[in-house]
Amino acid sequence: MSQIRHALSVKRQDDFAKWYQEVIAAADLAEESGVRGCMVIKPWGYGIWERIQRLMDDRIKAAGVQNCYFPLFIPLANFTREAEHVEGFAKEMAVVTHHRLISDGKGGLMPDPAAKLEEPLVVRPTSETIIGDAMARWVQSWRDLPLLTNQWANVVRWEMRTRMFLRTSEFLWQEGHTAHENREQALEETHRALEMYRACAEEDLALPVIAGEKPENERFPGAVETWSIEAMMQDGKALQAGTSHYLGTNFAHAAGIQYQDREGSQQYCHTTSWGVSTRLIGGVIMTHGDDDGLRVPPAIAPQQIIIIPMLREAPEDAELLAYCEELRAMLATQTALGERLRVLLDKIPGKAAAKRWDWVRKGAPVILEVGPRDMAEGKVAMLRRDALWNAENGKPAMQFVTREDFAAQAGALLEEIQRSLFEEARVRRDANITRGVTQWQAVVDHFEKSGKYPGWVEVEWAKPTGAALEAVVEKLKAVKLTIRNVPREGEPATGTCIFTGEPAAERILIARAY
């Protein structure tokens, strides 16, 4: 058995950013495409996204939200209708100006000057304005409400500095857009979506998150309230993993989304929007990855159990393959986390030890190796990716179990791994939130002196607005900190504002962030 340890060239604690890039390569998740800011998502990475999509889509449909598809291109004029929205997005959009190419006379191509668009089109950075146009057509009366739509789509935000999965010019996401009769119903939907994200993050991705409201300066452009789920990465930084916005009547006014109410008068709808993206995969990597590569929670693993037969290109291979195939068939009838097990019998030629480490780096939850001796004893050798090493002898913690026992317990094992990954992340997250800090200087000291991974700090503030808030944001920015959110389930404030000394209004989480 190979004793390769530390499959990666760098450890998390030595260079987290480099480690992140290396896990993406080692797990074969994605790569740079050569097109500025755009990545290629490779089969194992896209398989994880397909799993996230499937589980989130089930949750979306269960809430009565219907999937639609809206245009990739948005006319320029749409962006000028909602003042804050254009302010927030106009600086980073891809603009289509021509619809034909011609020869440039030098063997290349150029946009055809004769095919210039009268009105340039923007490649959607988000779809509030174009979906608002549709809502204005679809909503006539209170009977048409609530209108609950969602789309799975690609969006483009021109980014100067990109990082795979976390910030790319093009990314994949879902965006929910809903219209309601009044503020209460729209807020209820905003929170329903937020809680759906929390459930998906925690139950499916095994990412413990804190749901809360963003401060005014972090609101989505044009939103009245923005809520988020925030996850703590292993370097202590925060990752905004999903957002849900209450848009008030701002976009309804801009697009003319009106309805006749029960009394017969015209009213503007209250709208919401909410989204999660391929960024979630970045969160999975930075939460569950270790110094040997990725660890994928079973619920979102494209394959949950890998069976590696130790083939020798000899006649005995056929019998060994049959033994493994029987196991695959036994497992195929089992379920875990409410679904059939996903099992791969890896028959690709190659050394079993090398293949094991490939699957370790990719983070398959359970890896089985089966050699002729195992077969003779009716057993399999099992490796749990979430408990890879034997602490006593420093070797892979291989367990030898009978094939039948393994098959009978496989579903429960995967559920145990799912729980264990969540618990590990939750315990780490909770241990790295510092509470009870009441002086600004203590916050600064905490992030400067508590080592590389200072985690998050919870403080109380007076919830300033306008210029006073700007001053706070600048103060934070000077030491590279941000306000993550006001935890929804946080304790009420009892002391004074850490920034102004006024009576505090609420508790906020302060952190470095992606």
Binding positions for a second copy, rule: CB under 8 A: 31, 33-35, 38-43, 46-47, 49-50, 66-77, 79-80, 86, 90-102, 107-111, 120-123, 130, 133-134, 137, 143, 149, 153-154, 156, 158, 170, 172, 349
Using the minimum distance from each CB to a second copy, give the nearer residue, 153 or 299: 153
Residue 96 sits at the vertex; the CA angle it makes with 90 and 99, to the nearest 5 degrees, is 165
Per DSSP bridges, beta strands 343-345 and 305-309 are parallel
345 DSSP 8-state letter: E
Cβ at position 313, least distance to a second copy in Å:
14
Using the minimum distance from each CB to a second copy, give the nearer residue, 17 or 110: 110
Using the minimum distance from each CB to a second copy, give the nearer residue, 137 or 395: 137
Q: How far apart are CA 217 and CA 230, in angstroms?
A: 16
Q: How far apart are CA 463 and CA 461, in angstroms?
A: 6
Measure Cα distances from 35 to 31, 45, 70, 162, 348 in Å: 11, 19, 25, 12, 32
Cross-strand pairs, 171: 155
Kindly report the length of the chain.
514
Using the minimum distance from each CB to a second copy, give the nearer residue, 16 or 274: 274
Cβ at position 482, least distance to a second copy in Å:
24
Using the minimum distance from each CB to a second copy, give the nearer residue, 28 or 216: 28
Burial-class residue 182 by CB neighbours within 10 Å (0-12, 13-18, 19+). middle
Give the pair of three-digit tokens for residue 170: 């093009």
Using the minimum distance from each CB to a second copy, give the nearer residue, 38 or 444: 38
Q: How far apart are CA 63 and CA 510, in angstroms?
A: 33
496 DSSP 8-state letter: B
Using the minimum distance from each CB to a second copy, give the nearer residue, 162 or 482: 162
Letter string b/e over residues 30-45, b meaning 16 or more CB atoms within 10 A of that residue's CB? beeeeeebebebeebb
Using the minimum distance from each CB to a second copy, give the nearer residue, 78 or 418: 78
Cβ at position 137, least distance to a second copy in Å:
7
Q: How many other C-beta atoms are found inside a 10 Å radius of the C-beta of residue 121?
A: 18
Letter string b/e over residues 127-166, b meaning 16 or more CB atoms within 10 A of that residue's CB? bbbbbbbbbbeebeebeebbbbbbbebebbbbbeebbbbb
Nearest to 315 by CA among 378, 372, 374: 372
Q: How far apart are CA 35 and CA 56, in angstroms?
A: 29
Using the minimum distance from each CB to a second copy, give the nearer residue, 70 or 389: 70
